[in-house]
Structure 1
């Protein structure tokens, strides 16, 4: 099973960095993954629902640790790329604003 598309919606919140949708083999999509800044770095959280006792249960999740790591690597790489692009665009916009002001 291959990850064929990753859609990232970055956020400006402290620990929650982005919402993510991933598509597998161009035929199956999972919505609602999250990129979270944890105490030991960023990680990908699977979509979950809150149970009556206040705990959370994953709605969908990988069965093997190897596939979980693959999802995490692909998602975090895509997140870093989109953040890098957004930072570059902001830098370019600031340069254009500075030129316009002068």
Structure 2
């Protein structure tokens, strides 16, 4: 499995949410609305989710293994940092 494309759909200057991202896997499967979140110690990715009937958030899609989660997070954060760098050098 390879991450074939990462698209930063929206950069956000909020205190927690930093970006909304789409990922394409193997050129065959797209996952939209992955959020780049500022955690206490680092940035991380939150998978697309929805409110359940009891008010909790449930992931709509999520990686089963930690290796796949890390692969997605690494690709997303690399593109996020590249987008920040492009914005900084464009100014």
TM-score by length of 1: 0.85
Q: Deviations over 1:22-55 (max 9, x none)?
A: 0011111010100000111100000000112221
Q: Is the counterpart of residue 12 in structure 1 residue 20 in structure 2?
A: no
Count residues with an aligned counterpart.
Answer: 90
Q: Deviations over 1:70-102 (max 9, x none)?
A: 111110011000001101111xxxxxxxxxxxx
Where is the helix percentage greater, Structure 1 or Structure 2?
1
Q: Which runs of 5+ in 2 are unaligned?
A: none
Q: Which runs of 5+ in 1 are unaligned?
A: 91-102
Query: Relative contact order (C-alpha < 8 Å, sep 6+): which is higher?
Result: 2
d(CA) in 2 for partners of 1:78, 1:51: 31
Runs of 4+ in 1 over 2 A off after TM superposition: none
Alignment RMSD, CA only? 0.8
